[in-house]
A and B are shown apart, each in its own frame.
Chain A
Amino acid sequence: MVQTATPPAVERHLHPLSLLVALPRLGPQLFGLLPLLVAISFSGRWAALALLVALTLILSLGAFFLRWRRFVWLVDADAVTIRQGLWSRSERVIPIERIQDVAIEQGLFHRLLGLAIVSFESGGGGEGKRDDARIDAISLADAQQLREQLRQDARQWAAAASAPSTLPSLSDIGADSATHILHRMGMRRLLLSGLFNFSLAAFGVIFGLFTQFDRILPYDPFDFDLWLSLAARLGLDQWVLAHRWLAAVGGLLVVGVLGALTGIIRTLVRDWDFTLSREPRGLRRTRGLTTRTDMLIPRARVQAAIISSGPVRRFFGYYALHLQNLASDSGGDGKAEVDHLVAPCVTLAEVDVILADVGLTRSALSMEGWARPHIAMLLPVPLTFIGIAAIQAAAMGYFAPELWWVSLLLLASAPLAALTGWLDWRLRRWRFDGHTLETLRGWWRSRQVILPARHVQSADLYISPLRRSFGLADLLLGVPGGKADRHRLSYISAAQLHRLRTALLTVR
Chain B
Amino acid sequence: MAEQADVAVAEQAPIDGIAGVDAAALQPVERAYIRALAIRNAMWLLPIAAVASFVDAVILRANDLPWGGLMVASLLLAAIGIFTLPSRAWHKIGYVFGDDALRVAHGLWFRRDTIVPFVRVQHIDVGQGPAERMCGVAYLVLHTAGTHNSIVTLPGLRPERAAEMRDAIRTMIRSDFG
Contacts and interface: CB of A to CB of B under 8 A. Distances in A.
B148 A478 contact: yes
Contact of A2 (B121, B126, B145): B126
A482 B144 CA distance: 15
Given A133-B123, A460-B113, A484 B174 contact: no
Interface stretch (B5-13, B58-66, B71-79, B165-173): B165-173
A126 B147 contact: yes
Given A92-B123, A463-B110, A481-B147, A457 B170 contact: no
B157 to A, nearest CB: 10
Contacts of B170: 5, 78-79, 93, 95
Contacts of A463: 110-113
Nearest to B104: A460
Interface residues of B, number: 48
B14 interface: no
A505 B166 CA distance: 20
A462 B174 CA distance: 31
A160 to B, nearest CB: 5
Contacts of B84: none
Judged by DSSP, the binding face of B is: mixed
A342 to B, nearest CB: 20
A423 interface: no
A421 interface: no
B138 A125 contact: no
B33 to A, nearest CB: 16
B133 A89 contact: yes
Given A125-B144, A125-B145, A88 B114 contact: no
Contacts of A127: 147-148, 150
Contacts of A91: 125-127
B76 to A, nearest CB: 26
A460 B138 CA distance: 23
Contacts of A111: none
A432 to B, nearest CB: 14
Interface size class of A (residues with CB under 8 A): 35 or more
A157 B144 CA distance: 19
A98 B174 CA distance: 10
Given A89-B128, A464-B110, A78 B145 contact: no
Judged by DSSP, the binding face of A is: mixed
B57 interface: no
A161 to B, nearest CB: 5
A326 B146 CA distance: 9
Interface in A1-41: 1-3, 5
Given A88-B129, A122-B122, A97 B163 contact: no
Nearest to A463: B111
B123 A122 contact: yes
24 contacts: A2-B163, A5-B170, A87-B130, A88-B128, A93-B125, A93-B126, A93-B170, A97-B177, A123-B144, A124-B145, A125-B150, A127-B148, A132-B122, A457-B144, A457-B150, A458-B149, A459-B114, A465-B110, A468-B111, A478-B144, A479-B147, A484-B148, A506-B19, A508-B119
Given A2-B138, A87-B130, 14 more contacts: A1-B128, A2-B126, A79-B170, A88-B129, A88-B130, A92-B124, A93-B123, A98-B123, A98-B173, A133-B123, A459-B114, A461-B113, A465-B109, A465-B110
Interface of A: 1-3, 5, 78-79, 85, 87-95, 97-98, 122-127, 132-133, 157, 160-161, 326-327, 457-465, 468, 476-482, 484-485, 498, 501-502, 505-506, 508
